[in-house]
Amino acid sequence: MTKILFVCTGNSARSQMAEGFARYYAGDQFEIRSAGTYPVGVNPYAIQVMQEVDLDISGQTSDPLSEFSLQDFDCVVTLCDSARASCPVIPTGIELHHWPLPDPAGLIVKSSEIIQAFRLVRHQVEQNVKALLATLTETS
């Protein structure tokens, strides 16, 4: 089974959304995990915007990257420049993708714009996950 690891700094929003979408779209075809270089817990806004599209990520956990051995994965996706810079060297033979998405939790916006920022990133993550899964399905 193909194993995918989504990595961002806090493992609170982008990587959590990616894990949720990948689990939904891939079903049991892939093993999906996410991690953070400095995990801070799942962001409540990420949970909220995923619930808006009928996906429940509230049971997912924010795990440190150090708990994983990258050689156990077939594909690693970094979702921000910080995670890419902090990520250990990816072993040979592991497919690496980089999606430099903005951190909705770190954006400096008015409180009324926060949820919209999360929705925008959710949409970007969903499109990227669909494309990744299509590519991985074609090559396996």
Distances (CA, A) of 12 to 29, 72, 91, 122, 135: 24, 22, 25, 13, 26
Residue bearing the bigger pLDDT, 15 or 1: 15
Return the pLDDT at 110: 72
Active site residues: 8, 80, 87
CA distance 138 to 140: 6
Return the pLDDT at 140: 62
Listed in sequence order, the residues at least 6 apart from 88 whose beta carbon sits closer than 8 Å to its beta carbon are 65, 70
pTM equals 0.92
pLDDT tens column, 85-124: 776 677 788 999 999 998 888 766 677 788 999 999 999 9
